[in-house]
Amino acid sequence: MVLQRGALTSVWGTSTKIGDLVELLLDGAVVARRIVDSTHVWQIFFKPPSNPGPHVLTASSSLGNVSISDVLFGDVWVCSGQSNMEFMTLGLQNATEEYIDAANYPNIRLFKVDHAVSATPLQELTKVGQVWNKASKAAVNAFTPSALFNAMINPLLRNTIYGAIWYQGESNSGRAAAYACEFPAMIDDWRAKFHQYSLTTNANFPFGFVQLAPWRPNPKSRAFSDLRWSQTAEVGFVPNSKMNNTFMAVAIDLPDYTSPYGSIHPRYKHDIARRLGLSSLAVAYHQTGFDYQGPFPTSYKLDRVHSHVVIEFDHGNTPIEVRETTGFEICCTYVNHICEEYAGGWKNATMTSHSTTSVTLDAHNCNVGGVRYAWRESPCELRKCAVYSRDSNLPAPPFKHEAFLQ
């Protein structure tokens, strides 16, 4: 088991005896006491030791003792979402390497909540697929936490956690506009509830997520593109003013059309894990001195003399790598700030040149009312989208800019 390190952590349980005194012992020494309340719950808060462990934790009352051994104090992350979050390790492209590498992390513990549903919020888990286990081939292969909130997340709310990561959105791709509001609201709700019930979880804990990966090779639907935009609250990157203390792994360049699990379940989860881990170091752990995001546009300029659009990334401060010249579109329209399919429409824009910090697009015969990038369900081949950070190897996320260019 892993309990959250830091200033205070929460340990709780239930008892049949209301009013009974429960003592919590760590390695035989009492660290805190609590009375069982009228709902049969006892919840104890105590300062974790500086030594991560392993320790023995014991709850003692007039009814007896319950002990848990091999208890560590570290960071607890809740991992949730849908089928891509519960994708099993044996399905990865590099599964063998992951199994071998697991032995190098003996202090990682894995806990799985099995699928369950409830019409009302539950206080205790009804199904546990895997108790706290060390990282191993068997444990890593079974590590598949996901959630239906009432039955699978609500019972965890009294626990102190460090943060959460989320991989979901494919099933919402037909209603992107709503998702742009619902997703930030869900994050806020999780933060409020974990803080309210644990009394020790940060009310603004870090929340990471995976932007949708490709699905089919040549679909006409733009639903995934719109949903990716909505995952960032229609800003294009995180963290932002609508989604503070969040981080994201861009996955638009990781198609897996031959995946035996269906192309909606790409096997390149190690790429996603590296990108998510890198961004977590910056946002969740406040480490500095490295790029944790791919390039993002900071200016769009129209060269009317040469009929070119010049897109500069990151104020010219981050060197880019250009791997392809495709993926850009411009909107030709005659109505200010309108870039709809019927109003002249979006059309492919050829990249004519690039510098270390910008790309130049051909805009001949177009009254440019917008620019967008990677606005396809599957924008490119494996690791071959157009723009990457030269130093961090991170892809630029999809973006769009709808305004007449000056």
- Which stretch, 221-225, 285-289, 328-332, has highest mean pLDDT? 285-289
65-80 pLDDT, tens digit per residue, is 999 999 999 999 999 9
144-167 pLDDT, tens digit per residue, is 675 478 889 999 999 999 999 999
Q: CATH for 75-283?
A: 3.40.50
Fold of 2-73: Immunoglobulin-like (2.60.40)
Structure-model confidence comparison of residues 336 and 292, the more confident one: 292
> Among 131-135, 300-304, 371-375, where is mean pLDDT lowest?
131-135
pLDDT for position 130? 63
pLDDT for position 180? 95
Q: Domain map of the chain by residue range?
A: 2-73, 75-283, 297-401
Average pLDDT of the chain is 91
pLDDT for position 333? 78
Query: Once rounded to an integer, what is the mean pLDDT over residues 351-368?
Result: 94
Listed residue (339, 363, 342) closest to 351, CA to CA: 363
> Among 29-33, 284-288, 313-317, where is mean pLDDT lowest?
313-317
pLDDT of 351 over the 70 cut: yes
pTM (predicted TM-score)? 0.93
190-244 pLDDT, tens digit per residue, is 999 999 999 999 999 999 999 999 999 987 788 999 999 999 999 999 999 999 9
Q: Which structure tokens are listed for 58?
A: 């014991």
Judge whether 2-73 and 75-283 match in fold. no
Query: Once rounded to an integer, what is the mean pLDDT over residues 393-402?
Result: 95
